[in-house]
Amino acid sequence: NAGVTQTPKFQVLKTGQSMTLQCAQDMNHEYMSWYRQDPGMGLRLIHYSVGAGITDQGEVPNGYNVSRSTTEDFPLRLLSAAPSQTSVYFCASSRMPGGGANVLTFGAGSRLTVL
Amino acid sequence: EDQVTQSPEALRLQEGESSSLNCSYTVSGLRGLFWYRQDPGKGPEFLFTLYSAGEEKEKERLKATLTKKESFLHITAPKPEDSATYLCAVQGSGAGSYQLTFGKGTKLSVIP
């Protein structure tokens, strides 16, 4: 049981380049989300999905796109990278809480540097 | 808007020296308060969920408690392997009720 798998672990981009961070989970979780973690700040929600074909914005969605074509995968796309997007990105998933507590399982993270 | 403030930002303890980490929060209708542990270079790992004031949960040397305004993570006789950053998060019952709001964390260092 791999849990939540993120690739790549490290990536360096130049300003204006595009790329996709991959996230896959094998727990049949309906809820998936992307967070970014910056020094001196808490984890901030970028986008989330409550099921295949359904996505919504979180606290800091600008500059990022997501899609959810399958239950297992939730890729995060940077269309035109900016230095402000230098961060560590975490994918997290959970069973749909159905009105209860949303206990998240996190991936190991992807460290992105934009020059 | 939900808010979480953790203190202290960093804490150094001698092995065996018990202490507490604080998490103060404001939330519209608490669905859950969460504690996570994060080791360097890794993702957060779930520890506890607390649901209502007065609730307590324990795991090995860790004990989490909850009041209407704050939560404490008590660490009894810590060992060096307890060194990590501890994150607190809340989930409210307002709009976007699946969303968690995280604090900045407390970095704990336990010195042998």
Q: What is the pLDDT of residue B96?
A: 61
Buried b / exposed e across A25-59, counting CB within 10 Å, b at 16+? Answer: beeebbbbbbbbbeeeebbbbbbbbbebeebeebe
Burial class (CB in 10 A: 0-12, 13-18, 19+), A2: exposed
How many A/B residue pairs have CB atoms within 8 Å? Answer: 68
The rounded distance, in Å, linking the Cα atoms of B99 and B101 is: 7
pLDDT band at residue B3 under the 50/70/90 scheme: very high
The answer on pLDDT for B95 being more than 70 is no
| Cβ proximity of B52 and B63 under 8 Å | no
Instruction: Tell whether B108 lies on the interface with A, counting CB pairs under 8 A.
Output: no
Helix%, strand%, coil% for chain B, nearest 5 = 5, 60, 40
CB neighbours (10 Å) of residue A8? Answer: 12
What is the DSSP-derived secondary structure letter of residue B86? E
The rounded distance, in Å, linking the Cα atoms of B21 and B107 is: 10
Backbone angles phi, psi at A91, to 5 degrees: -100, 140
pLDDT band at residue B90 under the 50/70/90 scheme: very high
CA distances from A65 to A24, A72, A78 (A): 16, 17, 7
Q: Which residue in chain A is spatially nearest to B33 when comparing CA positions?
A: A101
User: What's the token pair of residue B65?
Assistant: 């408690």
What's the gap in Å between the CA of A8 and the closest CA on chain B?
14
Nearest to B42 among A31, A100, A108 (CB): A108
User: What's the token pair of residue B105?
Assistant: 């964390």
What's the gap in Å between the CA of A5 and the closest CA on chain B?
11
Picking from A97, A93, A88, the residue whose alpha carbon sits closest to that of residue A26 is A93
Q: Block means of pLDDT (10 residues each) for chain A, length 115 residues?
A: 92 97 96 95 94 93 97 97 97 83 94 98
User: What's the token pair of residue A97?
Assistant: 């809480």
Picking from A82, A90, A68, A86, the residue whose alpha carbon sits closest to that of residue B102 is A90
What's the gap in Å between the CA of A103 and the closest CA on chain B?
8
Helix%, strand%, coil% for chain A, nearest 5 = 5, 50, 50
Q: What is the pLDDT of residue A97?
A: 65
How would you classify the pairing of strands B30-38 and B84-92?
antiparallel
The answer on pLDDT for B20 being more than 70 is yes
